[in-house]
Structure 1
Amino acid sequence: MDSLEQVRGASDKEMVRARAALIGLRPLYRMYMLHGLFMPDTPGLAALRARIDARGLGFMLHHLVSIVPTPRQFNEGLVAMLGPMWDELRKALSGR
């Protein structure tokens, strides 16, 4: 499906949910990546990675959530986050 058509077909509620997921997953992705940058590991970081990896979404987060997105990357990420799965992941990881 064309990205523009997905956005046109999305309700306001879906767009807000996608935006919350994209913005909310960005800092969680940063913490996920700390281990890969040889930062000291902690039980909290290990638990975060385990929750993401148990869902098999680490690879997808790597491609969808840019640490410093360009406007185009933000828009592409927003379209990708339209599915409720990403908001559910954000809530599961952040406790909100």
Structure 2
Amino acid sequence: MYSEALRILDQNTVELMVELQQEEIKALREKNLRQEEENLRQREEMRRQGEEMRRQGEEMRRQEEEMRRQEERYQKELLRLQKLLAQQNS
């Protein structure tokens, strides 16, 4: 009788431990899934930011080129005005 009671107690203990481990495994899988989803969200955000930085870099290069062309136009106009002034003074 006593050994039967111990056997049942051992069996119940084993079943409880298995259930607890299964719950822990389930919780860890859920946590892992949440982390994977967060990682995916962060990678997508980084991709989006990289694309935005690339776009801004292109815009800056375009603006720099426009400024360079405008400076060339101003230099040419300045030379033209200097020549005109020199002609008027001679």
Larger Rg over CA atoms? 2
The structure whose RCO (Cα within 8 Å, separation 6+) is larger is 1
User: Which structure carries more helix by proportion?
Assistant: 2
Q: Same fold (TM over 0.5)?
A: no
